Chains A and B, each alone.
Chain A
Amino acid sequence: AQSVAQPEDQVNVAEGNPLTVKCTYSVSGNPYLFWYVQYPNRGLQFLLKYITGDNLVKGSYGFEAEFNKSQTSFHLKKPSALVSDSALYFCAVRDNDNNDMRFGAGTRLTVKP
């Protein structure tokens, strides 16, 4: 069965600095990988996904993620963080042979002015 891990419960960065939110995964086949963001009092919102193709995926709000097969990672990145990026971020994985999706526990990103 597929699984995903987000090793950091919380990430703190200063506004204007680059940010990285880590995600590693485990699947038996080829992975479909996703990042979602949750703002206060809202449901999850889709940010970006990797299905196939270029390892660097660009998504909403200036976020991008890099698929690294050898390290089984899909870290979320942004070159310059904004205070408004403060939210909960969830990584998710789905085996392309199995539509069941598994989510990480979430990482709380706090961007300070």
Chain B
Amino acid sequence: GAVVSQHPSRVICKSGTSVKIECRSLDFQATTMFWYRQFPKQSLMLMATSNEGSKATYEQGVEKDKFLINHASLTLSTLTVTSAHPEDSSFYICSIGTSGGSSYNEQFFGPGTRLTVL
């Protein structure tokens, strides 16, 4: 399967600063990437679907101006948490969707990024 990396794996920042998280597809051209968020002791929640060359599609309740997503190439999508606050502290996971000639977009997940906002 495809290999997905995320950088950084952990980040600690001060309240009010912005943090950028990168999601890279190392061996596959990903037209679609997904961003998920996991709160402590909660299950994963889809935040947005990122399509290469177009605007991301955000799930209901996710602030698009706060969580900026850029998918400028087939191998890189970035999530920027702007003006971060302690409640933004979470585990962020990206995945890539592959077409592979099937009717499904199979997904391969990155290892996740733990964000802590002080």
Contacts and interface: CB of A to CB of B under 8 A. Distances in A.
Nearest to A105: B1
Chain B interface residue bracket vs A: 20 to 34
Interface string B91-111: 101010100000111110101
Nearest to A36: B44
Contacts, number: 60
Instruction: Say whether chain A's binding surface is mostly helix, strand, loop, or mixed.
Output: strand
A49 B112 CA distance: 20
Contacts of A100: 91, 111-112, 114
B44 A88 contact: no
Given A34-B44, A41-B32, 6 more contacts: A41-B105, A43-B36, A43-B46, A44-B95, A100-B112, A101-B93
Interface of A: 32, 34, 36, 38, 40-46, 49, 51, 87-88, 90, 92, 96, 99-101, 103, 105-106, 108
